[in-house]
Structure formats: C-alpha cells, structure tokens
Amino acid sequence: MNSPRTASDDPRAKSNARRLLVQALYQRQIGGQTWQDLHRQYSQDPSFARADAAYLRAALEAVCEDEAGLDTELARHSDIAPARLDPVEHAILRLGLWELMARPDIPYRVAINEAVELAKRFGATDGHRYVNAVLDRASRAHRARERGEVA
C-alpha cells in the first residue's frame, strides 16, 4: 500500500515555495511586515498546499533575519547597489544568494535556474539576465568546489 504523497514529496514543492517566497519577500520590502506575519499570511494562500512548507518557513525566516548580511554579500557580486535594485529582482537575488550560501543540498545550477525562472515570470523584461549574471558570480565564490573550480 502506498502512503499518501505530501507537498514536500513533490519535486515541484520547492519551486512552489520559492514563488510564494518571492512574493512575501517583495511584500516585506514594500510594507515591512515581520517574517512571522508573512508566514501566517502566505500559509493561508491556496497554493501553500503545493509548497514545501518547511523549506518556505526556513527560507523566509533566514532571509528576513539576515537581509543586511545578504545585501552586503550581494553588493560584492552586483554592479548595482542593493538599495537601487528593483524590488522583485532584489527579492529573487536575496533568495538565490541565501540558497547558494546556506543550502549546499540545493545544487548551484538549480538555485540559479530557479531564480532565473522567477525573474522571467515576475521581473522586468531583461531582469532574468541580470539575476543570472549576479548569481553566477556568487556561485563562483560560494560553490567553487561544486563548480569544479577549486584546484
């Protein structure tokens, strides 16, 4: 007998969580809500049932709690100051950078590709190219071994 499949078992669950995360992180930039308030709000969203809930909570908390640190790191890899970034691309870059820095279980190519797809969906016309370039540079710093660039 097969056990019931949960959202976190679905290979798309992290992708669904990332979509909600970008919306929540964008909303935080505009409205300044706490991560807890955003978590409560987005856990009521109908698409939350298809998202990896544990990943969403962990990412939302971590990114919100370390915005300044992520922006400092982002500034190392970007030619645009974080404060000047479009809020959508800023949210996507914070999430992608956090994945590269804190989630070695997520392959760097997946982190970059997911961020690019989010930028294509939610960002400005060519925002995905910028997101790709910034996260590619960051992956060289944070995932050099995985990229095969460490001697």
pLDDT string in tens for the chain (151-residue length):
443 334 545 669 999 999 999 999 999 999 999 999 999 999 999 999 999 999 999 999 999 999 999 999 999 999 999 999 999 999 999 999 999 999 999 999 999 999 999 999 998 889 999 999 999 999 999 999 999 887 5
CB 93 within 8 A of CB 127: no
Count of domains forming the chain:
1
- Domain span including residue 37: 10-147
pLDDT given for residue 151 in this prediction: 53
pLDDT given for residue 5 in this prediction: 39
Tokens found for residue 117: 């797809």
Q: Is residue 112 part of a domain?
A: yes
pTM for this model (two decimals): 0.91
Q: Is residue 60 part of a domain?
A: yes
pLDDT given for residue 142 in this prediction: 96
Q: Is residue 1 part of a domain?
A: no
Q: Is residue 75 part of a domain?
A: yes
Q: How far apart are CA 145 and CA 151, in angstroms?
A: 8
